[in-house]
Amino acid sequence: MLNQYGQLTLEQTLFYLAIAILPAIFFMIYIYRNDDKEKEPPLLLLKCIIGGLLSVPVAIILEMLSEQVVFYLLENVVTATQVNYGILTAIFVGLIEEGAKFFFLYRFTWKDKAFNYRFDGIVYAVFVSLGFAALENVFYVFNYGTGVALQRALLTIPGHMSFAVYMGLYYGHAKVSEAVNNPDAKALNLKAAYAFAVLLHTIFDATLMVESDIGLIFFFIFVAILDIVVFRTIRLESKNDIP
């Protein structure tokens, strides 16, 4: 309950923090436990989480700027409809948020000597992405209350993990390509790491932002298929991990 000054009590603040952060921690533990060949250094994983946290203010600033671009496009290039607004916004959000995550992922992990197995790429990408998602979730829960917590725990947090799994999948392949001295494959896989994460994130957001019944139906079908494929990918990549 609120105190006499209309502020959150300490107990309520801690509760809000817990329900905002615990879903991200749950999936971090899940990914960590699936890293069978060689566990990653705790300090490096903490660094990945910090990278995710740092990517939030970067994304916020760039998304504020992108809103002006969206409004310009709606006024001068395409018809100003909810569908077009939703699609354009989703594209920019996907590009910006996944770009910010990828920047810190690459900056904090690429040259680290612990990055010596392909599955490591998935681990690092997921920890960065869930660091981002955890802080974003804190903002949502404190601004909109506990009502959004369950929805985000079941949909948004797993969504961020799913985008990161595909970013990390190709990121890990890029590292293997570098190890075998194949710069073309390395460059292609790095581009794919970013592109697949952006594509999945854009579809995820666009199906909600168009605000239509068809979009909502497509959203749940997309999420169901994505979750099945992602968890299968995690198991297969963990089982078939290579240095």
Rounded CA separation 234/216 (Å): 27
* Torsion angles phi and psi, residue 2, rounded to 5: -80, 150
In this prediction, residue 5 carries a pLDDT of 43
Sequence-distant (6+) residues with CB within 8 A of 128 are 48, 49, 51, 52, 55, 101, 104, 105, 108, 164
In this prediction, residue 211 carries a pLDDT of 87
Q: What is the pTM of this model?
A: 0.94
The closest of 56, 224, 227 to 140, measured between CA atoms, is 56
| Helix (H/G/I), strand (E/B), else coil: 86 | helix
Which amino acid makes up residue 52?
G
CB 59 within 8 A of CB 41: no
Q: Is 80 left (phi over 0), alpha (psi -120 to 50) or beta?
A: beta
List pLDDT tens digits, range 164-214. 999 999 999 999 999 999 999 999 999 999 999 999 999 999 999 998 999
Burial (CB count <10 Å: 0-12, 13-18, 19+), residue 26? middle
- Look at the alpha carbons of 78, 82, 84, 86 in this order and tell me if their dihedral is positive or negative: positive
List pLDDT tens digits, range 106-163. 999 999 999 999 999 999 999 999 999 999 999 999 999 888 999 999 999 999 999 9
- Crossing angle for the helix pair 183-209 and 82-109, nearest 10 degrees? 140
